[in-house]
Each structure stands twice: as C-alpha cells, then as structure tokens.
Amino acid sequence: QRLPTRNVFYYRCPDHRKNYVMSFTFCFDREDDIYQFAYSFPYTYTKLQNYLDNIEQRQLDFVQRRPLVYSVQKRRLDLITVTNPSLLVKGKRKKVVIVTARVHPGETPSSYVCQGFIEFIISDHPIARLLRDHIVFQIVPMLNPDGVFLGNQRCSLLGFDLNRVWNEPSHWAHPEIFGIKTHIMNLNEDPDFEVDFFIDIHAHSTMMNGFMYGNTYDDASRLEKHGVFPRLLSRNAEDFSINNTSFNRDAFKAGTGRRTLGGCLQESTHCYTLEVSFFSYQTSANSQAISYTED
C-alpha cells in the first residue's frame, strides 16, 4: 500500500545543509499491528535467492552460479557467470564484463535493473546469444546482503559504507568488497582474461532516468574512449540521460569501486557507476513517469 502523495514531502532542508529530506505523515490506528515502511519498491535477499534458484533449476549450460564469499553474517555473495562454455577454454583470451549492484542496501531499483540485465543476457534474443559467444559476463547482484537483510539504507552490518572501502578492504570487516576486489584483480592478472568493463549499479534519490558517472583522465585519448559507451547507451536506451552523465575524480568519491578499479586495472578497462532514479524515468517531458521495477 502506497502512502498518498499529499502526505509525503520531499524538499531541501536548511537544517541539514540544504540536503534533500523526505518526511511523511502517517496515523498508527491499530495498536496490535506491525508497521513497516519502504523508501522504494522492496527487493529482499530472499527474493534474490529465489530468483537465482529458479535460474539454476533451468540448468542452462551457459550459466554458472557460485558463492564468491560469505558476508559477516554468513550470507552468500553470489557470482553469476554467463557465457558460451566454449569460450572458457584455457589459453583462449576472452573479454570480461563485470556488473555489480546493491552495495547500498536501500537502493532497490538497482536490483530490478540488475535482474532485468540478467533476464536479457540469459535469454534467446539473438543479441544476447551473440554477446555470450564473445564475452564472459560476471554478475554480483547483491554486494551487501547483510545490509539488505537488516533493512539498512546505506551501510553494512558493522556500519561501513562498503562503497568507500574499495581502496583498502578488510577481509573480516568488509569480506564482500575484499572478495570481489580480489576476484577482479586476479582476472586482471590472468593472461586468459581481459577485464573490459566494470559497471556498478546504484539508485539516485534526486535525479530522473538513468545516467552514468565515469572517471576522468589526463590522457585525452583515454578520456575520449571512456566517453564512448555512455554515448552509445544514450542512443539505444530510451531511459538513459547523457545530459546527467558526468566524469569526475572528486575526493568525495575516493574509495568507490569505480574510482579504485579505474586506477588499478589496465588502461583499456572502463569503470562506471550506473545510476537509476528512485522515482522513475521519462522518455520525454510530457510522457508518463515509469518506475524501475520488475514490470
């Protein structure tokens, strides 16, 4: 049940350094009931496990699932590999695309987008089959399973923002980031693999549509190449906004996956943050707003 829009307020608050604040009014009219509130459409750890279980039961020869590591509370950090099995022959050089989501547990739209990507890349669509024949896709759909289970907005069980510890993750305090970073660095050093893309999916609370954050480089040629993928995405995805896309290396983003991996992987690797709106996307100024959900 959604709260009526007349009871929900979203505004810049002078008491909070003019940051956005959401407040709402609600009447608790049943003493014995338990009330739960969700900032956005829920996407739970259990929902993900059920979804991945269903895929596993289909026994697709081009899909592999394994736990990369376990969280502090021993929840699975699933790694999904999607590719033509013939591509995994040892000694054969192959490109790898790594997609992660839900490092911030409250950003549920990122899970719906990640699920949509998985649905497409394992489908019978001709483009999906062609991509599987040439690329190894590795997907970690939920980087912060403890935070998701506990209903946290941004942090892990131990109170860490896991998207600020990529530069020096701890195997005991941030096993999820320690595990995925170690895995990516091993791929980077393996002559059989070339990490082509790293895309970390998030949800944004103030802007519409989807857009990207990329890195900026002193090398003009590298920076120009880094801007190609977002431009291609804007031409092929109606919900993607190239105008909201930006490239930066501000200090506030130090320790993020995009920034850290962009500085330690091969120069040919492109690292991005893909943001999708908590609210919705619009294909034109007068079109209907569409939320990022399973529908």
Annotated catalytic sites, by residue? Answer: 275
Nearest CA among 164, 163, 110 for reference residue 139: 110
The C-alpha torsion from 115 through 121 and 124 to 126, rounded to 10°, is 140
Nearest CA among 72, 255, 260 for reference residue 175: 72
Axis-axis angle for helices 175-189, 257-264 (nearest 10): 30
DSSP states of the chain:
-PPPGGGEEEEEEGGGTTEEEEEE------TT------SSS---HHHHHHHHHHHHHTT-TTEEEEEEEE-TT--EEEEEEES-GGGG-TT--EEEEEEEE-SSTT-HHHHHHHHHHHHHHTS--HHHHHHHHHEEEEEES-S-HHHHHHT-SS--TTS--GGG-TTS--TTT-HHHHHHHHHHHHHHH-TTEEEEEEEEEEEESS--SEEEEEE--SSHHHHHHHTHHHHHHHHH-TTB-SSS-EEE--GGGTTSHHHHHHHHS-TT-EEEEEEEESS-B-SSTTSPPB-SS--
Contact 248, 216 (CB under 8 A): yes
